Amino acid sequence: MRAAAYAGSLYFALVFALAFALGALRVTTLVPLLGELGAVALEVPVVLAASWSACAWLTRSLRVPRTSVARLAMGGLALLLLAVAEMTLGTLLFGRGAAEQLAALRTPPGLLGLVGQIGFGLVPFIQLQWVLRR
C-alpha cells in the first residue's frame, strides 16, 4: 500500500501542476474566445490524456501492485489531494468560500470539470482493467 500512496501523491502533484498551468491559459486565452464551457471542454481531455501517461509511468516506475485495491487507493488519494488543493486555492487565491465553490460545481462548466476530476481519480483503476484485459 505504501507504493500506492506514494504514487497517488506524485500522480496528484504532476497532474495538478500541469492542470494549474493549463487553467491559467484557459482563463486568460480560451475563455474570452470560447466561453467557460468551451474552454473547459478543451482542457479536460488534455488533462485526462496527461493523467493517463503520468499514471502509466508512475505505476510502472514505483511498481504499484496490479490490484484493484492498490489502484483505487492511488486514485482515491490523488482525488482527495486534488479536492483539498482546489478548496484551499479557491479560498486563498480567489476569496471564495466552500459554499460558493460547491455552487460553482452545479454549473455546466463546473460539472464538466468535476467529471474530469472523477475521471482523473479513476484512471489508475481503469488503466489496470485495460492492462488486465489485454
Query: Tens digits of per-residue pLDDT, 10-53?
Result: 999 999 999 999 999 999 999 999 999 999 999 999 999 999 99
Instruction: Dig out the grid coordinates for 131 from the structure.
Output: 492492462
- 51, 53, 55, 61 alpha-carbon torsion, rounded to 10°: -150
Predicted pLDDT at 94: 87
Residue 1, pLDDT > 90, answer no
Q: What pLDDT digit, counting tens, does each position of 67-126 carry?
A: 999 999 999 999 999 999 999 999 998 899 999 999 999 999 999 999 999 999 999 999
DSSP string, 92-114: HHH---HHHHHHHTTSHHHHHHH
Instruction: Check residues 39 and 132 and name the one with the higher pLDDT.
Output: 39
Predicted pLDDT at 128: 97
Would you say 11 and 78 are in contact if contact means Cβ atoms under 8 Å apart?
A: yes
DSSP string, 15-31: HHHHHHHHHHHIIIIIH
